[in-house]
Amino acid sequence: MVDKEKKVVDYEKLKRTVEIGVRMQDNVIDATPYFLEENKKQALGERRIGLGVMGLADLLIYCEKEYGSEEGNKLVDELFKTIATTAYRASIELAKEKGSFPFLVGETDEETQKLREAFINTGYMKRMPEDIRQDILKYGIRNSHLLTVAPTGSTGTMVGVSTGLEPYFSFSYYRSGRLGKFIEVKADIVQEYLDKHPEADPNNLPHWFVTAMDLSPEAHADVQCIIQRWVDSSLSKTVNAPRGYTVEQVQKVYERLWRGGAKGGTVYVDGSRDAQVLTLKAEENTIEEQLELLPEEKEDKETKRAVVLVDTIQDLRATDVTIGSEVGNICPVCREGTVEEIGGCNTCTSCGAQLKCGL
């Protein structure tokens, strides 16, 4: 979405992408199999979708704007205003083509008009441009909600961009997950910059290369509130706080989020959990654990697989140990720790791998 040569956002490309995204997600509602009649009635009745983003930090870096700065926040505000207004206009066009979402349609024209008037007078809709509000009165709108921002932790990492709304945790860090205890992750955007600027010092990057721990908790909160103005559902954003942050300081951050209009908030104080997904160094790795990750090139691969498989089967038959992701199981990653519920996730007590979270 950025013209990298001009260092500006390509707003026309952004608008086209949003329009396609709205239509695609609206189609998904009809293509989805519903196993419960109540779910089907609700989903088809409100036709709620959730267009989101990832790579916001990359966009700011390409535009040479500092995440959390006054200049950066102005760009973020304009960016999400464009996404929101384009999405709502696209949904109105879909309503002209396919009809409004059923919960906005009354039994009579008079009842429908009252529902539409109530819709455009909600707190969020009052901030929308007047032409959008009037078009909803006239034509209705296809979707009750259009926007949200998911964490995109795995998908963002997979495609090599910053996750969700977040700044980079660091441009080189370690991630604990299903593939290993500590996996080093390096941001592609840094290497891209160094390739274009071979004279640059990788240890002294320009000021617009901002990481999560460079920002004050207040700066994190302010970015979230700016974005929330233009997002009709809730969004995922972590306010990172340094070690030693007090309960009173955390309280003030939540109050700041509330005053700024955030629908929710997460404050994470570095080191406050026994195991955390992102760390700046693999401080818990032992030499033995690192050696286990190295390929044993001298052994024939097929022979090695057979030996491991047979040993595993014999071990399981000889004991009542259960290897899995449920509480009380032996961790399938390190085969050493037990799985316990920590912070809402089934987590290994030895390697810290988060094996199962939520439902």
Report the distance separating Cα 146 and Cα 319, nearest Å.
52
| Residue 249 near residue 241, CB atoms below 8 Å | yes
Return the percentage of the chain with pLDDT > 70, whole number: 82
The CA distance from 117 to 144, in Å, is: 14
Between 346 and 175, name the one with better pLDDT: 346
Q: Under 8 Å CB-to-CB from 338, ≥6 apart: which residues? A: 328, 329, 330, 331, 348, 349, 350
Mean pLDDT of 75-83: 98
Neighbours of 330 (CB within 10 A): 18
Per-chain mean pLDDT for the chain = 85
115 and 104 Cβ atoms separated by less than 8 Å: yes
Determine the 3-state secondary structure of 356 from DSSP. Answer: strand
Q: Which tokens belong to 206?
A: 């320009």
On the question of pLDDT at 273 being above 60, the answer is yes
DSSP state letter for 176: E
Strand partners, 267: 239
Q: Give residue-wise pLDDT tens across range 19-47.
A: 999 999 999 999 999 999 999 999 999 99
pLDDT digits (tens, 9 = 90+) for 152-210: 988 888 888 999 999 998 887 666 655 555 566 678 899 899 999 999 998 899 999 99
**pLDDT tens-digit map of 284-337:** 444 444 445 444 444 444 433 333 333 333 343 344 567 777 888 888 777 788
Question: Among 57-71, 142-156, 181-195, which stretch is predicted with the lowest mean pLDDT?
Answer: 181-195
Q: What is the pTM of this model?
A: 0.75
CA distances from 75 to 10, 127, 319, 328 (A): 12, 18, 60, 49
Structural element, H or E, at residue 131: helix 130-139
> In the structure encoding, which two tokens stand for residue 263, read together?
């629908």
For residue 262, is pLDDT > 90?
yes
The pLDDT score that the predictor gives to residue 291 is 46
Check residue 267 and report its DSSP letter: E
Separation CA 176–CA 164 (nearest Å): 18
Report pLDDT for 295.
47
Residue identified by tokens 């929308």 is 128
Query: Does residue 279 sit in helix, strand or coil?
Result: strand
Residue 66 host element (H or E): none
Give the pLDDT band of residue 150 (cuts 50, 70, 90): very high
What integer pLDDT is reported at residue 96 of this predicted model? Answer: 98
Exposure b/e, 140-164, CB count within 10 A at least 16 = b:
bbbbbbbbbbbbbbeebbeeebbbb
Query: What percentage of the chain has pLDDT greater than the value 90?
Result: 65
Query: In the numeric block, which tokens belong to residue 187?
Result: 């941001």
Q: How do 278-279 and 172-177 pair as beta strands?
A: antiparallel
Q: Taking the chain, what is the end-to-end CA distance rounded to the nearest angstrom?
A: 35
Lowest mean pLDDT among 130-134, 141-145, 259-263, 312-316: 312-316
Residue type (1 letter), 88 = Y
For residue 164, give the nearest of 91, 220, 96 by alpha carbon.
Answer: 220
pLDDT at 274: 65
* Angle formed at CA 136 by CA 29 and CA 125, multiple of 5 degrees: 90
Minimal CA–CA distance to 158: which of 129, 143, 131, 178? 178
Residue 349 is predicted with a pLDDT of 87
